[in-house]
Amino acid sequence: MSHVHSIPSVSSASTGNLQTACAMTALYLLPFPALNFGVSFTLADVFLVTAVLLNAPQLVRLQPFQVPCLLAVPLFVASTLLDPDSSLIELVQVLYIWGFVVPFGWVAFVGLGVRRIVLVVLASAVTNAVVAIGQGIGYLPELGNQHIINFGGSFSRAAGLSLKCNSLVMGLTPCLMLIPFLLRGRTRLLVLLVLIPGLLAAVSKSVVFAIPGVLWYVWHEPRRRGVAAFLCVLALGWMVQGEGITGVGDLWHHFSDVVTRRLERIDNSIEERIELIRISLGHAADALLLGFGPAGTHVRVSAMTNNTVHVYYLGVLLTGGLPAALLSFTGMGLIVTGLWKHGQRHVCLYVVSHLLALSVMTALLVSFQVLPFVVGGAILAQVSASTAPSRESERRRLSFSSPNYAWTPSR
């Protein structure tokens, strides 16, 4: 009889182990969209879908941040269906990202635990940064559909395991906020010293959004004075070595040359982005109910500029319409406020930092772009569930300990 009852427990344990393995694999691979089956559906998505399905019992309890995201799905789908420029591919992408990943992707990671999630996210970021550094100095080639920009010297703009340079910066920037989770001081410093060169390898102007993360880490570092001094000495030593012609000095020389060329074009880049914003705002007046769909948005914005809008929030608005955009942003806001309310300050700022980095990114129908929302949602659901029993027990204690005053009519 005992043998009969042991079978379900063994099966349940095996399913749990498989779910954990798929969830950790998906979490590690999601920032690597270069590993894909045709850009939109990546290797990580296979494990993400599997992990969500294996953790399906978590879908029973609806989270507050899910509600506005789910309400936005029909609007995104209707905008795509009514877009004459859209195809079945865009429709499937919209259904997958806005109908599955955003409202349900967090389910895959809800059982991993906060610290394990953070460790996997940081391990993935370190891997991405190392690959980017290797590509920047010419040791590693571009992957798949990547486009590494070579300026003719010994240093190239690298994308790591992301699709483009800006995507690399967007993926690494919020991870700086999670470094204080690491227990050992040397490990924290090592991770920082890997992520910073990884960010610089992209030679992207959006790296400015990583500065708050560095300052956040230094401020929360117990030995912050020593770490700040070490970083200053390291930067100074790198600059001094720049006078040489070999080794690190030669690398710094070529990197500086690439940065100089990028800065020379900054005026044109800013003017182009402002023009894209102006055109997008002009079309926004026609998206007060439904949007133009992904393809329709690209057609309208790129008609005069041969480019698409580089502001994520405007891209979402034009794609799904104003109501869909407001609902989606409300769901993101509920994740941020919920994490802050439950004391998950580092994770909260991880999501906020991603929101800032998105302000200079195109709205893409690829899962890596919404990873921080999925991670934040999983951690919020986990801490909310852990605090619910304590709140209920406290409510019961107060109800039993409070005197029961009976109401009597006045005479």
* pLDDT at residue 344 in the model: 92
Residues 287 and 348 in one domain: yes
pLDDT surpasses 80 at 356: yes
Instruction: Report d(CA 407, CA 411) in Å as an integer.
Output: 12
What proportion of the chain, given as a percentage, has pLDDT over 70? Answer: 74
Give the pLDDT mean for 110-129: 93
Residue 406 lies in a domain: no
Burial class (CB in 10 A: 0-12, 13-18, 19+), 267: exposed
Instruction: Report d(CA 77, CA 92) in Å as an integer.
Output: 9
Residue 47 lies in a domain: no
Residues 97 and 137 in one domain: no
Residue-averaged pLDDT of the chain: 79
| Range with the poorest average pLDDT among 198-202, 355-359, 393-397, 405-409 | 405-409
* pLDDT at residue 4 in the model: 44
Residues 195 and 246 in one domain: yes
Is the distance from CB of 110 to CB of 382 less than 8 angstroms?
yes
* pLDDT at residue 207 in the model: 80
**Could you list the residue range(s) of the whole structural domain that residue 176 is in?**
114-257
102-137 burial: b if 16+ Cβ within 10 Å, else e? bbbbbbbbbbbebeebbbbbbebbbbbbbbbbebbb
pLDDT band at residue 264, thresholds of 50, 70 and 90?
low
- Of residues 92 and 3, more confidently modeled: 92
- With CA atoms as reference, report the closest residue to 188 among 131, 237, 122, 117: 122
The tokens for 276 are 């894209």
pLDDT surpasses 50 at 243: no
Residue 52 lies in a domain: no
Residues 211 and 230 in one domain: yes
What proportion of the chain, given as a percentage, has pLDDT over 90? Answer: 34
pLDDT band at residue 126, thresholds of 50, 70 and 90?
very high
Instruction: Report d(CA 376, CA 26) in Å as an integer.
Output: 15
pLDDT surpasses 90 at 342: yes
pLDDT surpasses 90 at 238: no
Residues 251 and 326 in one domain: no
* pLDDT at residue 157 in the model: 73
* pLDDT at residue 400 in the model: 45
If one counts the domains in the chain, the total is 2
146-179 burial: b if 16+ Cβ within 10 Å, else e? bebeeeeebbbbbbbbbbbbbbbbbbbbbbbbbb
The tokens for 3 are 């043998």
Q: Domain ends where: 222, 257, 292? A: 257
Which among 10-19, 44-53, 219-228, 241-250 has the top mean pLDDT?
44-53
pTM exceeds 0.75 for this model? yes
pLDDT band at residue 265, thresholds of 50, 70 and 90?
low
Residues 297 and 183 in one domain: no
Residues 334 and 363 in one domain: yes
* pLDDT at residue 167 in the model: 86
| Range with the poorest average pLDDT among 15-24, 173-182, 244-253, 271-280 | 244-253
Residue 229 lies in a domain: yes
Residues 119 and 103 in one domain: no
Residues 243 and 309 in one domain: no
- With CA atoms as reference, report the closest residue to 117 among 385, 381, 386, 388: 381
* pLDDT at residue 335 in the model: 96
pLDDT band at residue 145, thresholds of 50, 70 and 90?
low
